[in-house]
Amino acid sequence: MSNGAENEAMTANARSLAREIDWFGAVLTARFETYFVAQDADAGVVPVFPAPPDLAGDPSLFADTVRNGAGVAMSADERIVLILALLPHIRPQALDLLLTHNKLIERTFTEFGGVRGAAHSGLLPTGETAVFILAGDDLRRRFEVGRLFEPSHFFAKLGILRMQQAASGEPALRATLAVETDYLHRLTVGQQHKPDFGAGFPAKLITTPLTWSDLVLAPEVMDEIEQIRAWMRGGPALLRRWGLETKVKAGFRALFYGPPGTGKTLTATLLGQSVGVDVYRIDLSMIVSKYIGETEKNLANVFDQAQNKNWILFFDEADALFGKRTEGSSSNDRHANQEISYLLQRVEDFPGVVILATNLRSNLDEAFARRFQSAIYFPLPDALQREQLWDKLFQDRDLLAADVDLHRLADKHVLSGGALTNVARYAAIRAARRQEKQATDSVRIELDDLERAIKKEFIKEGRTL
């Protein structure tokens, strides 16, 4: 999205939210006026709430989300809950009325709900706050409003709102009401949020300047990859078409295995890129912990944030995390087995695409292997594929000296795509150094440059020419 489009989206959201905030203020005032009148009169007084703003024709992303973000238009109750969760981020003073003290007990009214943050001096709304505004003392209405916070409601299913878990033993509605980060960005600045790599989200967004046409794989491997690609383009619709939505679990799980440098990471990245999906590579060094429960907690941070996103989760060197379970009886062995069982459950329940990559399939626990929809072996490229890789590396043949025969090099030396990239880099550096010494622009990559680079790769791999 260009800066101009971003500014337009932000401006449109601001206008829509300003009207929504004004409406919320009128609703809150109506609730307060009738609530205290009802207490004084010892009789139920039902407030008359003003109608919500008309969003027909409103171009903002906020209006679009309210109109059809869940497939249907949000009700007035749902709009109140949504704006209530947004207010601490966009106009916290709008909730100051709920900080009113009860003079009889010298503290805020219990029924208003809400909590104070560690540093935020205003009110952070809870489920109780929403229930008070919409239902007051009407018990049946309270139960009705409470359904908005159930896991089956689209707020939870689509990852729009969440209830921060209340302390053990406390009422469920004591939990803080929070907008998920993705929707907070969408409904305010009008941008898609991409989480930052860190302890709270140990995964990195991976991209590549290459395109699908740059991918060189064996025909049988490419056919398997196209299967995954077809699923990503319309898996849920495919299941509905064939009546399998209740019989087949959502999501797709694939295993990529084979020697290093054969294109596993690049393929995962291009899969996402080709269908417009972000690919996040999980940093196992920040996931795995020696402390009991920490590995599961770290992994949960990733899966929870990815749950309702259209992402690919890519676990490179997955055997470090998904290794075989042991038969040992020590507490460490039992804990390691529990970890793997937890990982298996999260991977199997994830509704998106999970790709595990490993050099050795035999290192993975068999329970994972049984649950893959696809297990794809990435072999070393054959001579024809190596020649294609050489051709893509040196598309401009004028950069090569006359003695360089890429066909012969491809036929003679068995190297992976990753190794060939290293060869090209090393040869280019040698040629550049030679150019500096000779002070000329006519230097090209020579056969000797490439053969020396190939020898270095063989030595790295413990092989000889």
| Interval 399-434: pLDDT, tens | 899 999 999 999 999 999 999 999 999 999 999 998
| Interval 435-461: pLDDT, tens | 888 877 778 999 999 999 999 999 988
Confidence bin at 149 (pLDDT 50/70/90): very high
Give me the residues paired with residue 376 across strands.
Answer: 256
- Would you say residue 197 has pLDDT above 70? no
Encoded tokens for 180:
């998920």
Last residue of a domain, one of 342, 377, 412: 377
- Would you say residue 395 has pLDDT above 70? yes
- Burial (CB count <10 Å: 0-12, 13-18, 19+), residue 98: buried
Last residue of a domain, one of 132, 152, 187: 187
- Residues 217 and 168 placed together within one structural domain of the fold: no
- Residues 147 and 24 placed together within one structural domain of the fold: yes
- Residues 32 and 156 placed together within one structural domain of the fold: yes
- Residues 97 and 166 placed together within one structural domain of the fold: yes
The residue to which tokens 């009802």 are assigned: 38
| Interval 91-132: pLDDT, tens | 999 999 999 888 888 888 889 999 988 888 899 999 999 999
Range of the domain at 437: 383-460
- Residues 443 and 418 placed together within one structural domain of the fold: yes
CA dist., res. 463 & res. 454, Å (int): 11
Q: CATH number, domain at 421?
A: 1.10.8.60
Q: What is the pLDDT at residue 368?
A: 66
Encoded tokens for 278:
């972000």
Q: CATH number, domain at 341?
A: 3.40.50.300
CA dist., res. 234 & res. 433, Å (int): 50
Eight-class DSSP state of 313: E
- Residues 120 and 233 placed together within one structural domain of the fold: no
- Residues 214 and 311 placed together within one structural domain of the fold: yes
- Residue 90 belongs to some domain of the structure: yes
| Arithmetic mean of pLDDT over the chain | 85
- Would you say residue 329 has pLDDT above 60? no
- Residues 168 and 235 placed together within one structural domain of the fold: no
| Interval 47-71: pLDDT, tens | 889 999 999 999 999 999 999 987 8
Its pTM stands at 0.71
Between 248 and 55, name the one with better pLDDT: 55
**Number of domains making up the chain:** 3
- Residue 193 belongs to some domain of the structure: no
Encoded tokens for 440:
């000329």
Q: Which of 154, 33, 136, 7 is nearest to 82 (CA)?
A: 154
CA dist., res. 213 & res. 201, Å (int): 32
Last residue of a domain, one of 187, 218, 237: 187
Order the strands of the 203-205 sheet from edge to edge. Answer: 203-205, 278-282, 311-315, 353-358, 252-257, 374-377
